Chain A
Amino acid sequence: DAKTTQPNSMESNEEEPVHLPCNHSTISGTDYIHWYRQLPSQGPEYVIHGLTSNVNNRMASLAIAEDRKSSTLILHRATLRDAAVYYCILRDGAAGNKLTFGGGTRVLVKP
């Protein structure tokens, strides 16, 4: 699976939006962009994924650059419960089974 680059940490104020960037310049045409998060002392949790078009769900939005070399996870209104480590992961659509976790971005939400 191709490599991703994320900032180590970000801070946000409660109820403000959070934009988490991810660079994946070596992405291939069949790679899906996945986001997972891990809250303290819990297992990872799926957030969202996409291929080419922007995606929205109840948890977040995923904005994918036109050249697909970068993407941004958007949490529209951060809450204290969103404090977690967020992982951006590329997975090949056909053969990508395992998740390859990098260091992720640790998000701190201030009240």
Chain B
Amino acid sequence: NAGVMQNPRHLVRRRGQEARLRCSPMKGHSHVYWYRQLPEEGLKFMVYLQKENIIDESGMPKERFSAEFPKEGPSILRIQQVVRGDSAAYFCASSPLAGGYNEQFFGPGTRLTVL
């Protein structure tokens, strides 16, 4: 059973461009979470999605960031008009069920560099 997959692993964008990060959860998992780790900082929750629905986006910046998890295909984290401060590692996790007693399985991350 393949783990959580993220692509690309490394992404370089110039200021003002768009970044699209993809996450394929583990087979059978319908819950996806996105986290961001800024350089030399801790991991911060961004958004929690269940198939076709955003459940909790309390950690998402108000502008330029959006996330989706369509019925078919991977979850996408989209950052429009990137700025240097968006440079970070973005991790996706998935779980088979909701609730605090379930573990989350993390992907290897996408490292975004904004020039």
Contact = CB atoms under 8 A, between A and B. Distances in A.
A46 B35 contact: no
Interface stretch (B11-19, B61-69, B71-79, B96-104): B96-104
Interface in B62-115: 91, 93, 98-101, 103-109
Contacts of B91: 43-44
A92 interface: yes
Contacts, number: 67
Contact of B103 (A34, A97, A102): A34
A97 B105 contact: no
Interface in A58-111: 91-104
Nearest to A47: B103
Q: Which of A42, A93, A99 has the most CB of B within 10 A?
A: A99
A50 B97 CA distance: 17
Given A97-B48, A98-B45, A101-B42, A46 B100 contact: no
B99 A98 contact: no
Interface residues of A, number: 26
Q: Which of B42, B101, B106 has the most CB of A within 10 A?
A: B101
A77 to B, nearest CB: 23
Contacts of A93: 99-101
Contacts of B44: 101
A95 B106 contact: no
B56 interface: yes
12 contacts: A38-B43, A43-B91, A44-B43, A44-B91, A46-B104, A91-B100, A93-B101, A97-B31, A99-B43, A101-B35, A102-B42, A104-B42
Shortest Cβ-Cβ A-B pairs, 3 listed:
A96-B100, A91-B100, A43-B106
Interface of B: 4, 31, 33, 35, 42-45, 48, 55-56, 58-59, 91, 93, 98-101, 103-109
Given A38-B43, A97-B31, 4 more contacts: A42-B109, A43-B91, A91-B101, A94-B99
